[in-house]
Chains A and B, each alone.
Chain A
């Protein structure tokens, strides 16, 4: 399968080729890859591809792959409507 057809970030439809090209061109961190390509910025917030992006970038930059996660975790844990968040709907809440 070609790099062009291998999708790394499914939400934003970013291919392996795009990620490889970005790292070669800018020799940058996975954080910068994210900002330049939108990989990891989609609906799932990088839950699916974060680890894969980190691994690809570490590999291309010939860095030792460590347990450190470069791409950050941010709330909410999963998508939530503004209605539930703002207190209009009280889904799964006891109060």
Chain B
């Protein structure tokens, strides 16, 4: 009989980190995945760990702690995941954006985070190829980049040293429960694994796993496209994005940019990041299109149009490839990291939207703290699954 202390469902970045942290803590862990490692969102994304795109408060606290953890892991792991703390830059097009950015930075600095406003001149000193008319921006030195799927491979290789067993190409079909509701086993298309603890790290597919134990997890797929440049000289040295990105991510900020209909209609905001391979990844885009990850011509055109506005040098650089992925979106933009009260032994670690890579280490750590009964690094009441039940009552 196959039996494990804990079954982790989903070998994307969150499941990989959770499996690593639990294995290291001494549990016997099975990591079950319907495809290969990093088969879904974690290989169709960009890969930064930022604090500058987080809201002040717990969002930023988790992001910051995660970056510190990545720094330690990068030293500790024998598997290189191309981690580097390059910093990041937000750029503002208008005085109004600069003003909103200034308020945001003041708030983050008051909380002790090292973010700095830079003017037009400093901006061009940091990134000389940027358009000359930009007003200024935010520079965050601590922000970091890495390779998204290599991080997954790294977590799993390290976890194997502690005995992790990988079940790739196993699709979860059913979860059985004892009469008192506690989870009993995970049935895949190929085997049955007995366990009394399950961690649902299925990301955009988390709701499907939730249905198997009769709960409704309100995660929706939110699509995003990325364009890849040819290998070229360092046109930017770090992640650069327009401040409008912040405005497209959080729907509650009302601010309208002066952009073309194509850019507006497709919710496109400029981002670019360097990779170790000297290709650059360009985005970004957010749309609700179900599970569709086909490339859209309009979105590709819009991303290119917006990118040239901020980095005119791109005009003569080739785009070699495009891809799309889907982010696990939740309405309040905070991940669900929680045990589910009505299903003893069933935990959820999903719903990180575009912050999965960023928040993977802290999520793995907190899930382990929840399961071992230790106090979590932060008060994570706001990440509890029960927050959605409270909403229903309201």
Q: Hey, which chain B residues are within 8 Å of A74, CB to CB?
A: 295, 321-323
Q: Hey, which chain A residues are within 8 Å of B277, CB to CB?
A: 38, 41
Which of these, A35, A42, A87, contacts B305 with CB under 8 Å?
A87
Q: Hey, which chain B residues are within 8 Å of A29, CB to CB?
A: 36
Which of these, B153, B301, B320, contacts A79 with CB under 8 Å?
B320
Interface size on A, residues (CB 8 A): 24
Q: A82 with B43: in contact, given A36-B153, A43-B230 (CB under 8 Å)?
A: no
Chain A residue with the shortest CB-CB distance to B169: A29
B316 lies within 8 A of A83 (CB)? yes
A3 to B321, CA, bound (A): 29
What string of 1s and 0s marks CB contacts (under 8 Å) between B301-341 and chain A?
Answer: 10111111000001111111111000000000000000000
Would you give the shortest CB distance from A92 to chain B, in whole angstroms?
15
B316 lies within 8 A of A86 (CB)? no
Q: A83 with B315: in contact, given A29-B36, A76-B322 (CB under 8 Å)?
A: yes
Q: Hey, which chain B residues are within 8 Å of A88, CB to CB?
A: 305, 308, 315
B301 lies within 8 A of A86 (CB)? yes
Inter-chain CB contacts under 8 Å: number: 83
A24 to B37, CA, bound (A): 16
What string of 1s and 0s marks CB contacts (under 8 Å) between A52-95 and chain B?
Answer: 00000000000000000000001110011111011111000000
Does A31 touch B at the CB level, under 8 Å?
yes
A37 to B149, CA, bound (A): 12
Does A49 touch B at the CB level, under 8 Å?
no
A83 to B318, CA, bound (A): 8
A75 to B228, CA, bound (A): 11
Does B229 touch A at the CB level, under 8 Å?
yes
Which of these, A43, A83, A85, contacts B300 with CB under 8 Å?
A85
B320 lies within 8 A of A82 (CB)? no
Chain B residue with the shortest CB-CB distance to A45: B321
Does B89 touch A at the CB level, under 8 Å?
no
Q: A35 with B322: in contact, given A82-B229, A83-B308, A85-B301 (CB under 8 Å)?
A: no
Interface size on B, residues (CB 8 A): 34
B36 lies within 8 A of A82 (CB)? no
A58 to B320, CA, bound (A): 27
What string of 1s and 0s marks CB contacts (under 8 Å) between B110-151 and chain A?
Answer: 000000000000000000000000000000000000000110
A76 to B150, CA, bound (A): 25
Specify which of B39, B149, B315, B322 lies most central, judged by the most chain A CB atoms within 10 Å of its CB: B315
Q: Hey, which chain A residues are within 8 Å of B321, CB to CB?
A: 45, 74-76
Which of these, A36, A43, A82, contacts B308 with CB under 8 Å?
A82
Chain A residue with the shortest CB-CB distance to B313: A82
Q: Hey, which chain B residues are within 8 Å of A36, CB to CB?
A: 153
Does B182 touch A at the CB level, under 8 Å?
no
A28 to B320, CA, bound (A): 26
B318 lies within 8 A of A79 (CB)? yes
A60 to B287, CA, bound (A): 40
A5 to B314, CA, bound (A): 35
Q: A81 with B301: in contact, given A32-B36, A35-B43 (CB under 8 Å)?
A: no
Would you give the shortest CB distance from B276 to chain A, in whole angstroms?
10
Would you give the shortest CB distance from A91 to chain B, in whole angstroms?
12
B305 lies within 8 A of A86 (CB)? yes
Q: Hey, which chain A residues are within 8 Å of B306, CB to CB?
A: 86
A81 to B300, CA, bound (A): 12
A83 to B282, CA, bound (A): 14
B319 lies within 8 A of A81 (CB)? yes
A42 to B227, CA, bound (A): 14
A70 to B368, CA, bound (A): 36
B308 lies within 8 A of A75 (CB)? no
B residues contacting A by CB (< 8 A) are 36-39, 43, 149-150, 153, 227, 229-231, 277, 282, 295, 297, 300-301, 303-308, 314-323
A-B interface, 8 closest residue pairs, ranked by CB to CB distance from nearest? A86-B304, A83-B315, A85-B304, A86-B305, A79-B318, A82-B314, A82-B304, A86-B308
Known: A82-B282, A82-B318, A86-B304. 18 other contacts (CB 8 A): A35-B150, A36-B153, A43-B231, A74-B321, A75-B295, A75-B297, A76-B321, A76-B322, A79-B318, A81-B315, A81-B317, A82-B227, A82-B307, A82-B314, A82-B315, A85-B227, A86-B307, A87-B301
